[in-house]
Structure formats: C-alpha cells, structure tokens
Structure 1
Amino acid sequence: MAWTVNGETIEESAVRAEMEKLRPRYEQVFADMPAEARETQLTEWSRENLIEGILLKQAARREFKSTPPEAIEDAWKQFVAQAGGMEGCLRHMGLAAGQEAAAREQFVDRLQIERLTQRIASAVAVPSDKEILRHFEKYRDRYTIPEMVRVRHIVKHPKAEEEAEGIRMEMEKIREELENGKADFAQVAEKHSDCPDHGGDLGFFPRGQMVPEFEDVVFMMQNGAISKVFQTRFGLHIAQVTDRREAVPCSLSQVREAIVRELQEQARQKALEKFIDGEKAKAVIIER
C-alpha cells in the first residue's frame, strides 16, 4: 500500500521506517493501550507525520522558490563544513556514499521548511495581560515554589557485597555517636564519608532531584533529627535535615515571563497546525 500527496509518493516502507522511529517513545506513553489498537494508531500517526512533512516541504518550495541560489549554496557549504566534510554530512543525515545530491536536496528542504515555520511563528501575537492573568488563575497550582529541605549526609559506597555488613556496622557506630552528641556531623562527614565535601551538606533541594529512596527518608524527617542507617542504590547513608522551606505560591510577577513563553509556544503550535490543515484541505491525497 502507498499514498500520493499532490503526486508525491509515500511508500509503505517509509511509513514502517517512521513507525520504528516513533515506536520507543510511543510504546512508553501508550503502554496501557491494547497491542492491536496501539499498532493501528502508530501506523496512522506515522502516515500523518509523513503526509504533513510533505505538505510543509511543498509549501516551503513554493514560498521560497525565488531564494537566490548563492544564498542556498553558502548555507549548504557551511553545513557540510560544520559536519566535518561530506562524509560526516552523509553520516549525520543517514545517507550512504554516492548520495550527495540527495543530501543537498534534503538540506535545502529542511532549510526552507525552517524558514516557513519561522514565518508562521512570527505572525503570532504577544499574549495580552488578560490572557496572561486568565492562564495564571486557571493553573495557579502549577506556579508554586515546592517544599524543599536542606540535608547533610554521610555515605559509604561498598565496593563489594561482602563489605556491606562491615560498613553497616561502622555506620551504626557513627550514628550512635552522632545521636548521643559525641561527634559533630560535619566533621564526621569530612572524615568518614565517601562524599565529604562541605561536611556532607547537599544544600536545599525539592522532590525529584535525588533518588526516591533518599527522598522518601529525608522528606519525612523533622529538622535536626538524625536518620537511621538506610540504603539507596548509591550505598549506605546517615542523613540529617538541617532546614526546611514550605511550599510557597508564586506571584504573577515571578512567573509572568514563563507564562508568556508558554502561551506563545502554544499559539505557534496552533498556527502551524492551522497552516497544515489548510494545506491538507487543498491537497490531493490518494491511497493506492
């Protein structure tokens, strides 16, 4: 089975290649979908990707057909030079020796498509104050400085499984001394930890920056408390929370620039989709 888009053919092999390119991420996102339905949708999406790509290419060729040849040649030479020569250029584009003409054609198409999408994006207006405020109020929960803790720790990395028990016993002894006030945490970290910098101080961090098994312990601790010896994928730890910052809602002024960027990106995407829909409505697309 194949398709033509304004006379340009999409072979089934191209659809299969697009499917394999999309598959890793696609199957991760849609893992819960029945396999047969997932494969059908992946096929349809891959075909649509190729159709839309051809429509953009055809539109870009029409719009920029008067581009001076010398400007294209200069851009092509610069691209080849940045790739380390023609061999590197072909490798970068997934082409074989002898396909230099195809590489140049693909490059020119990409260059013109980029210019077309930039032209479409440039027509997008800056969001108004009203739009910014409406977005902020609708998604206020997203604009929060999350809870953070400041933690210092002592960690040991057993080099072999047989060392683990001995290291755990050593860590238990260290913890007892810390708990009884017989030792200073920072000094012990500098002397015994495999990560001794700054007395084991990790600074402030929110959830999501450390491994889950570390965060599960420290975010449940009270300030000043010393944890039991616990294990993560990195080794055995003793942790102490030295400070905590509760979650704080952001003000509009703090996130205004981020909202503007987000709204503009959404508007650019909608403008591009609208453009492609318009091209698709005019196109002759035939399945054969």
Structure 2
Amino acid sequence: MKHLIVLALLLAAGCASSPDIPENSDPVNYRSTQDAPKTTEDANAQETPAPEDASVTNKEIPSATGPVATVNNTEISAEQFNSEIMRVLKSGMPPALAGRYKDTIVQKLIERELMKASLKAENVEVTDAEKKAKLDEIQTEFALAAQQSGASLDDLVQQLGITREELDASVVEAIAIEKVLVKRGMAEPSKEDVRRYYDENPEQFEQPESVKARHILFKVDPGASEEMWAEAKKKADVVFKDASKAKADFAALATKHSEGPTKANGGDLGFVPRGTTVPEFEDPMFALKKGEVSEPVRTPFGWHIIKVEEKRDAGMVPFEEVEERLTQQFKAQTMREAVEAYVADLKEKATIEIHSENIK
C-alpha cells in the first residue's frame, strides 16, 4: 500500500493538504511559551508511537498463502499482499492492528492492477522531460513542507520508506494517470472559480494580528525554588546585554544560548497570532515594535528574551497572496474526485474475484 500512498501524494504534488481550508499564512509552531517542534525530527520525537506490546505475535499479522484476488484473469499474488503488509508495519502500524486493514489492502491492490492495465491499454507515453519536471516540483514542495531549503529527494524517499526506483516509477505512473484523467475530461480550475470561492468565504481568509518573532529560552523546571529562578535570570541578563546591542545577531545568540528545540533554527517562532500563547509571553511580545528586543520575560516555563522581526495587522489576506495555493488546493480536490470516478469505472467494467480464504 505504500506505493499507492506515494502515488496519491504525487498526484497531488504541489497541492496543499486541505482542499477547502486555505493555509494562508506562515505555520504557527508556537502554542505556549514552550518551544513547539520546528523540524520533522522534533515532531517525530514528540509523536513517537508507544512501544509495541510484547504479547503481539506473528499470528496476529495477516499472511496470504495463495492469490488474494483475481482481476480480469490476472492474479494478485500472496507475495504482493504480504509485501504490502510488511510495508504497512514498517510505516509504524502496530502489528495488532494490521488485521483490520487486510481488506483495505486487497482493495488497493485491485485498484493498482486495474490502473496498471488501463494505462497499458491507453499506451500513454511519459517523456524524460515530464518526469524531471515532476520530480523537481516534488522536491520543491517537499523542501517547503519540511522547512528545509536543502531537503532532497533522497530525504523524501527515506521518509517514505521506499527506494528511489520506486519513487521514479510512481512519478511516471502519476503523470500517466493525470494524462488519462485529462483525456476523460478533467479540467484545470479556472481563476474565476478560485476568485469566487475567495469572495464567498471571507471568514476562511481572515488573519488575526500577528508578529514574527524569535526568542531565547532559559528553562526553569516546574517547582523550582526562587533561588533557581534568580540563577536563570542572571544568565538571561548576561545574554540580553549582547542581544540588545545595535548590530547583534539574535539568531546566532539563540543558537548558542537557547534551551529549547528552536535553538537549531535561531529561536525562530514564525508568525505568532494573538491569542495563541500565554499572557505572560504574549503581552510583552505584542508590545514590542519591529526590531525591538525585550528584557528577560518570566513565564511558567522559564525566562525568555524576545525579538520581533515583523508585525501584521488583523484583516483579510489579499487574494494575490493565496491565489496560487488555493488554485493548487482546487486542483488537488479535482484530481481526487477524478481518480475516484476513474477507479469506480474500471471496477464496474472488470471481473473481480476476492479470495479471502487465502488470507490467514
């Protein structure tokens, strides 16, 4: 199923994650005065699945002993099913849950076989130039999503748990499917449609007052004595003297002194909307002018030195700022609907037999 997941991602490459809710501002990664994850590594560290139950055995993992389905006289082998099960498990699914997804995996393998046969019958050609253009597009979008300008396709395949050859094959297949969908009548969303959606849904494009800020955090543990707070304040005061100098490199100071996950990003918090942090942090931050640095600010999590780099007033995000992203979201939704209709047509015309008895 990993191949199918990758294929779905590629079909929507360049599109935002939600088709109807625009992501019209920089990501907000700061919901309290503690640092939020800014990188994939930080996020993964906070969302690591619980250790698998030691009582889980291989008997609880579905395994095929013969063909799991026949599609137009073509068998979907036990090896294909078992391989997809292993990929699902490697992606992090607990073995005890794998059994619930065996029917879904069979259906996805059937859909994959139907699309493969359809593309062969259509004799769709994909040029090297088209493949390269799509790969470049994917790399750009992946780098943006990962917030790492140097993120490469090698990083992507490692994250997806596939090989580069599998990525290339999925890219070619995605381009071919898109060509078939266009041939079937799928059309690009018009600028008029995008503008109409923007005009009819103003509440989705409102942005609150926000500031782009960096901070340097000196952690103090909950329940610490006042002496420990005073000791941390001394450290913060020393760094503040350097941070408040006219030509101080605040990002470098944050990287050197901050005790939170954002230190690797120079203390960058991105744009922080009003109302998303605790008052002890928010009030002094919003009181700063652009370019100003606060004296050490005490919150329940420690002492913070804050620098405001940019300020945004509340109001509607201009259409020009969201047009490209919203267009891609419309395209993604159109693509998903077209793929669903395409697969439904293929299934309706196909002869499909499912051999559930071969899955133990």
Q: TM-score, normalised by structure 2?
A: 0.48
| Counterparts in 2 of 1:137 and 1:48: CA distance versus 1, 3 Å | farther
* CA root-mean-square deviation: 5.0
Q: 1:218 is matched with which residue? A: 281
For 2:116, the aligned partner's letter is: K
Q: 2:103 is matched with which residue? A: 44
Q: Distance in 2 between matches of 1:142 and 1:186?
A: 38
Q: Distance in 1 between matches of 2:251 and 2:163?
A: 48
The counterpart of 2:205, out of the listed 136, 139, 143, is 143
Shift of 1:240: 3.2
Q: Does 1:21 align with 2:87?
A: yes
| Counterparts in 2 of 1:238 and 1:253: CA distance versus 1, 3 Å | closer
For 1:127, the aligned partner's letter is: P
The counterpart of 1:272, out of the listed 339, 351, 356, is 339
Q: Distance in 1 between matches of 2:272 and 2:341?
A: 39
Shift of 1:17: 3.0
| 2:254–2:267 CA contact under 8 A, matched in 1 | no
Alignment partner of 1:286: what SS?
strand
Q: 1:125 is matched with which residue? A: 187
Shift of 1:144: 4.0
Q: Does 1:6 align with 2:77?
A: no
Larger relative helix fraction: 1
Q: Does 1:116 align with 2:180?
A: no
Q: Which runs of 5+ in 1 are unaligned?
A: 29-34, 76-91, 95-102, 159-164
Shift of 1:254: 2.9
For 2:281, the aligned partner's letter is: V
| Counterparts in 2 of 1:22 and 1:204: CA distance versus 1, 3 Å | closer
| 1:145–1:250 CA contact under 8 A, matched in 2 | yes
| Counterparts in 2 of 1:8 and 1:220: CA distance versus 1, 3 Å | farther
Q: Does 1:256 align with 2:331?
A: no
| Counterparts in 2 of 1:128 and 1:155: CA distance versus 1, 3 Å | closer
For 2:298, the aligned partner's letter is: K
Note the alpha carbon deviations across 1:162-200, whole angstroms, 9 max, x for none.
Answer: xxx99854432366799xxx9675139969997268x99
Shift of 1:16: 3.9
Q: 2:253 is matched with which residue? A: 195
Alignment partner of 2:84: what SS?
helix
Q: Does 1:205 align with 2:270?
A: yes
Note the alpha carbon deviations across 1:57-114, whole angstroms, 9 max, x for none.
Answer: 111221228x7xxx99xx9xxxxxxxxxxxxxxxx759xxxxxxxx9xx999768634
| 2:114–2:346 CA contact under 8 A, matched in 1 | yes
| Counterparts in 2 of 1:43 and 1:170: CA distance versus 1, 3 Å | same
Structure of higher RCO (CA pairs closer than 8 Å, 6+ residues apart):
2
The structure that has the greater radius of gyration is: 1
| 2:181–2:339 CA contact under 8 A, matched in 1 | yes
The percent of aligned pairs where both chains have the same amino acid is 16
List structure 1 segments (4+ residues) > 6 angstroms apart after TM superposition.
106-109, 191-194
Q: Distance in 1 between matches of 2:167 and 2:321?
A: 41
Shift of 1:246: 3.9
For 1:195, the aligned partner's letter is: L
Alignment partner of 1:54: what SS?
helix
Q: Does 1:228 align with 2:265?
A: no
| Counterparts in 2 of 1:153 and 1:263: CA distance versus 1, 3 Å | closer
Q: Distance in 1 between matches of 2:172 and 2:235?
A: 65
Q: Distance in 2 between matches of 1:111 and 1:193?
A: 39
Q: Distance in 1 between matches of 2:342 and 2:321?
A: 34
Q: 2:306 is matched with which residue? A: 240
For 2:77, the aligned partner's letter is: E
- How many residue pairs were aligned? 231
| Counterparts in 2 of 1:219 and 1:43: CA distance versus 1, 3 Å | farther
For 1:252, the aligned partner's letter is: F
| 1:151–1:241 CA contact under 8 A, matched in 2 | yes
Q: Distance in 2 between matches of 1:155 and 1:141?
A: 35
For 1:219, the aligned partner's letter is: E
